Structure 1
Amino acid sequence: MSDQDLFYLLALLKVDGVGDIMAKKLLTHCGNAEAIFKTKINQIAAIDGVGSVLLKNFKDKSVFEKANKELEFIKANNIKVSFFQDENYPERLKHCIDSPVLIFSIGNINLKSKKIISIVGTRQITSYGMEFCKKLIEDLAPLDPVIVSGFAYGVDIVAHQLAIDYNLQTIGVLAHGLNQIYPKTHKKYVAKMEENGGFITEFWSSSNPDKENFVRRNRIVAGMTEATIVIESADKGGSLITANLANDYNRDVFAVPGRVTDKYSQGCNNLIKTQKANVLTSAADLVYILNWDIENKVKPIQKMLFVELGPEEQKVYDFLLKNGKELLDTIALKCDFPIYKISGLLLNMELKGLIRPLPGKLFEAI
């Protein structure tokens, strides 16, 4: 995108009353942002949703000064800008009607041909949530997913740190401009984040981390990912907003169940109870429901040489060798393991190249 194109896009977004949906309408009608400002007012008035107040706001010339100032900031700080029609714009986010016209990013972000999931939850993460999050990312690491979150306290920063620990790309979606970091105590994580992914935002350098910005931020977290995972949440909270947005965007949502007496499991349990989220007991649940197992069939799994199996894995492997394709429930019954246990064993064996999952919750030995 040329500086001139970006300048007019920035100016368009600064016109009072022009949100992302209206901006896209105007761009579709006029072709580009520069043309919008050069189109006669009566022609703009013919566009659905354009009223007299908005027409009057187009006369405000201060939008050009603001656009120029932001363009200078972008260039001075080597910020990458993605237009919603560009190839480098997050593919899934393109399909959200209210997705940002422009997103700004820094770091080493590469989303091409990547599995992308968001992990969100309470800022008051418990030891239960931390342990589950660690096990989840550890088990998913061989599949090389991108981990997206909001860089906030609690579940967010734990997910980012674990992604870095397992050498996974991780992206923090910010509720403010790229001229600052919030919370300030998280500045110590910035360098590693940029090295292993980076940060994206729709907000300008003039934007502060105001309360309403976090809700807007959440739609990017939900919209750019294949699935949203809620690790822990009270009965109210930002992560539940993200989960609802993901449902609105027809994305998969997962929630980690907990005891009914635990404050920070109430939100997750309610998502599951109201059928707004799939139950997530292990990485295997995610792999199966997202059909990541089917993708693996395209590229044959190479069996690891000299694989060492634990006694439980050996029992399952011997059963599949003897019986061929079997249902998950049958494997659990015949091997005398609970479902949650067998799911974890099967995932570990799949990652070792010993078994392959098939549609319909079937598994077979390789």
Structure 2
Amino acid sequence: MDSSELINILALQHIPNLGDNTAKKLIRHFGSAEAIFKEKKHNLLKINGIGEARIQDLYKADNFKAAENELKFIEKNNIGYSYFQDKDYPEKLKHCFDGPILLFKRGNMDLQQKKIISIVGTRRISSHGMAFCEELIEELSPLDPVIVSGFAYGVDITAQKAAVKHGLQTIGCLAHGLNQIYPKVHKRYMPQVEENGGFFTDFWSTDNFDRNNFLKRNRIIAGLSEATIVIESAEKGGSLVTADIANSYNREVFAVPGRPGDTYSKGCNNLIKSQNAHVLTSAADLVYILNWEIKKKNEAVQKQLFVELEPDEENIFEFLRNHGKSQLDTIALNCNFPTYKAASLLLNLELKGIIRPLPGKLFEAI
């Protein structure tokens, strides 16, 4: 993209109260951001849903002055960007009506053909929540997922540090421009995250740091991912907003259940109780609901000739060898296991390369 068109896109993004959805509608109709600014006002108003209030600031010179200054910042600091019509724009975010028209980025990200999940939760994570988060990512690491979060205290940074530890890509979605970092204490983790993923934001370097930015940022966290996981949350909190947004995008939402009296389990328990989230007790739950096919990182799953199996694993494997393709409920019933335990055992067998999942939530021995 040449700098001339980028200036026009930035100017369009700068217009107050226009919104990403309206901006994208205008761009699709007229073909480019530049064409919008050249169009006569009465032609703009002919478009359904484009009212006087939304375009009243369109022709102000301040938009282009601000855009020119932001472009200088982008070029000076080697900031990357993805336009919503570009091939490198995150695929799942393209399907979100309010996804940003321009997404700024820094790092080494490759989201093509990747499993992407968001992990969010309270900033006051408990030792139990921390252990669960770290164990979950360790169990998922053979699938090589991308871990998305908000780079904040608590669940966010726990998930992103665990991703780095296991060599996974991790994306931090920021509620401010790329000229700063919040919280400042997390600056020390930035090199590791950029090496193993990076950062996304749609905020400018001139945007004031504001509490409402976090709510706007949450749509990117939810939109990037095929599933959002809430580890711990109070009865109200930003992670519940992210879960609501994910549900509005028709993405899967998972919540870790907790004791009814625990403050930071109330949000998760309410999500589950209201049927706005699946119960998540282990990586097996996620793999089962998303119907992910297990593959070892950097190599195809191959049948292992001499695999050591636990007695319960051997029980399920023998059942599949003797009965062929079977559904989870059938396996659990015939092997005398609760469904949750059968799901966990099936995940272990997939990781060992001797069974595989099939469409329709079926499993078979390899």
After TM superposition, the score normalised by the length of structure 1 is 0.93
Distance in 1 (CA, whole Å) between partners of 2:209 and 2:53 is 28
What per-residue deviation string (whole Å, max 9, x for no partner) do you get for residues 121-177 of structure 1? Answer: 111111221122122111111111111011111111111011111101000000000
Gapped regions of structure 2 (runs ≥ 5)? none
Task: Report the equivalent of 2:121.
Answer: 121
- Offset of residue 305 of structure 1: 4.6
After TM superposition, list the pairs within 5 Å mapping 1:188-337 onto structure 2.
Answer: 188-293=188-293, 301-337=301-337
Task: Report the equivalent of 1:345.
Answer: 345
Report the CA distance shift for 1:190/1:97 in structure 2 as closer, same or farther (over 3 A).
same
Report the CA distance shift for 1:50/1:365 in structure 2 as closer, same or farther (over 3 A).
closer
Distance in 2 (CA, whole Å) between partners of 1:55 and 1:333 is 61
What per-residue deviation string (whole Å, max 9, x for no partner) do you get for residues 75-115 of structure 1? Answer: 11111111111100011111111110100000001111111
Task: Report the equivalent of 1:84.
Answer: 84
Report the CA distance shift for 1:295/1:40 in structure 2 as closer, same or farther (over 3 A).
farther
Note if contact 1:294-1:359 (Cα within 8 Å) is conserved in structure 2: no
1:173 aligns with 2:173: yes
Distance in 2 (CA, whole Å) between partners of 1:326 and 1:95 is 34
Distance in 2 (CA, whole Å) between partners of 1:358 and 1:62 is 56
Note if contact 1:294-1:358 (Cα within 8 Å) is conserved in structure 2: no
Count of aligned positions: 364
Task: Report the equivalent of 1:148.
Answer: 148
- Indicate the RMSD between aligned Cα atoms, in angstroms: 2.1
- Offset of residue 359 of structure 1: 4.1
Task: Report the equivalent of 1:58.
Answer: 58
SS in 2 for 1:69: helix
Gapped regions of structure 1 (runs ≥ 5)? none
- Which segment drifts farther, 188-197 or 279-288? 279-288
SS in 1 for 2:88: coil
Structure 1's consecutive aligned runs of 4 or more residues displaced over 6 angstroms after TM superposition are none
Note if contact 1:182-1:209 (Cα within 8 Å) is conserved in structure 2: no
Note if contact 1:16-1:57 (Cα within 8 Å) is conserved in structure 2: yes
Note if contact 2:295-2:301 (Cα within 8 Å) is conserved in structure 1: no
Note if contact 1:282-1:343 (Cα within 8 Å) is conserved in structure 2: no
Report the CA distance shift for 1:360/1:34 in structure 2 as closer, same or farther (over 3 A).
closer
- Offset of residue 334 of structure 1: 4.5
- Offset of residue 9 of structure 1: 0.6
- Which segment drifts farther, 350-359 or 149-158? 350-359
* Identical pairs, percent: 62
Task: Report the equivalent of 1:8.
Answer: 8
Task: Report the equivalent of 1:112.
Answer: 112
What per-residue deviation string (whole Å, max 9, x for no partner) do you get for residues 189-235 of structure 1? Answer: 00000000000000001123311110010011111111111111111
- Offset of residue 65 of structure 1: 1.1
SS in 2 for 1:57: coil
SS in 1 for 2:140: helix
Distance in 2 (CA, whole Å) between partners of 1:176 and 1:305 is 52
- Offset of residue 321 of structure 1: 3.2
After TM superposition, the score normalised by the length of structure 2 is 0.93
What per-residue deviation string (whole Å, max 9, x for no partner) do you get for residues 290-320 of structure 1? Answer: 1213999xx9731235333234323433343
- Offset of residue 324 of structure 1: 3.6
- Which segment drifts farther, 199-208 or 316-325? 316-325
Note if contact 2:176-2:204 (Cα within 8 Å) is conserved in structure 1: yes
- Offset of residue 54 of structure 1: 4.5
- Amino acid aligned to 2:9: L
Distance in 2 (CA, whole Å) between partners of 1:103 and 1:261 is 41
- Which segment drifts farther, 315-324 or 12-21? 315-324
Distance in 2 (CA, whole Å) between partners of 1:317 and 1:101 is 49
Distance in 2 (CA, whole Å) between partners of 1:360 and 1:201 is 37
Task: Report the equivalent of 1:184.
Answer: 184
Distance in 1 (CA, whole Å) between partners of 2:322 and 2:16 is 69
